[in-house]
Each structure stands twice: as structure tokens, then as C-alpha cells.
Structure 1
Amino acid sequence: METLNKLFKDFYKPTPQLDLNTEIEQNHKELIQTISKADRRKVLKIIDNLMMITTLQTEESFICGLRLGLDFTTELKHYNQGGYASELTEVQPPFAMEVQTDEHN
């Protein structure tokens, strides 16, 4: 699992959400001006928890996608080795390269 987490950190690049970030900052400033200090702490705790949930879900989604991709790779490798081809029919693997022979011998 540690390797998958490292891959996530190395390869995942979040999409910038400039409009949303600006709106969040603006609403946060307005909210701070109208609520008590105790309520501010509660709001910040809620925001922190939501960010943690979002981060964990994003990481989990990345890992699931990576595992799915690896499973597809394994299946295609098995398919290309003839594991799913019938003996009665010749099936050309979808990702195989054709070998050209030189007929000028």
C-alpha cells in the first residue's frame, strides 16, 4: 500500500479550481466577520474534515484506477499469448505488431 501511496503522490496532479477557491475564500472572510470565535473553530474543523475526506477519496480513486489498469494489462497479456483464442479459429491479437519478412533472399 505504501508503494501505491507513493505513486499517487508522484503522479497525481490536481486540476486548479481557481473560481471555486476564490469563492471559498470570499465566503470564509464574510463568515469570520459574522460568527463567534467558538463557531469559527467549529467551521474550520468541518472544513478540515471535509478536506481530509476529499483527499482520502481522491487517493483511493487513483489507487483503484491503477489496479484496474494493471488488471487490464494482465488480461491483455494473457489474451495476446493465446489464452483466450479458440483452437478452431485464428484470432489476431488487437495490439500485436505485424512482422514483415524480407522476400528478397
Structure 2
Amino acid sequence: MNDILDELYQRFYHPSPQTDLQREIEDAHRQLIERLEKPERKLVLRIIDTKDMITGSEAQESFNCDFWLAWRLFTQLHNYNSGRLVEENLSEDDRFSMQKGTDDEN
């Protein structure tokens, strides 16, 4: 199941562009390269790389948790909607919708 979640994450997760922050990071990185000696530069780069790996891992974990929450809500809505087939609640563009009432009430 984790492989499926990884594939969904790769397909649907698109980080919002942070151009100002990215530019600020690149400027600070350039300044560090100019001011630090090689051993200190390597240490700072290792810190930055590790921080980026943690951030990426947290983003994927958040995606996985959100997916499971959505799936649980979806199944609860399905059960609430008199156990009708899930496909009956999907619109033409595959969005989930619930109709007011059930067929038994009409």
C-alpha cells in the first residue's frame, strides 16, 4: 500500500512556488560559499541537505495522513448513503457527490 501512496504523492503533490524564499536561500548559499572554508561549507551543506530531506519526508507523511483521512470520510459517506455503490455517487468528472435523500424515500 505504501507504494501506491508513494505513486499518488508523486503524481498529485505539487509544492507551491516560493520564489522569494527560494531566491533568499540561494543568496544566503552563495554568501556562505564565498565566506566559509571548504570543511565548514561541507558541514553547512550537509545540514541543509538533511533539513530538506526531513521537510520532504514530512510533506509525504502529511499527504499520506490526508489521503487516509479522505478515504475514511469517503467510506463513511458511502455507508451513510445507504450503502449504494461508490460509482453511483461520482459525477462525470469523478467528483464525489451525495444526493439529498435516498431512492427508498422517493
TM over 0.5: yes
CA distance in 1, matches of 2:67, 2:43: 36
Identity %: 40
- Higher helix fraction: Structure 1 or Structure 2? 2
Q: Tell me the TM-score normalised to structure 1 length.
A: 0.78
Q: Structure 1: state its 5+ residue gaps.
A: 83-93, 100-105
After the TM superposition, which residues 1-105 of structure 1 pair with which residues of structure 2 at under 5 Å, given as runs? 1-81=2-82, 95-96=98-99
Structure with bigger gyration radius: 1
Give the CA RMSD over aligned residues: 1.8
Moved over 6 A (4+): none
Compute the displacement of 1:5 (Å). Answer: 0.4
* Greater RCO structure (CA 8 Å; 6+ sep): 1
CA distance in 2, matches of 1:77, 1:98: 13
Partner secondary structure for residue 13 of structure 1: coil
CA distance in 2, matches of 1:98, 1:50: 50
How many residue pairs match? The answer is 88
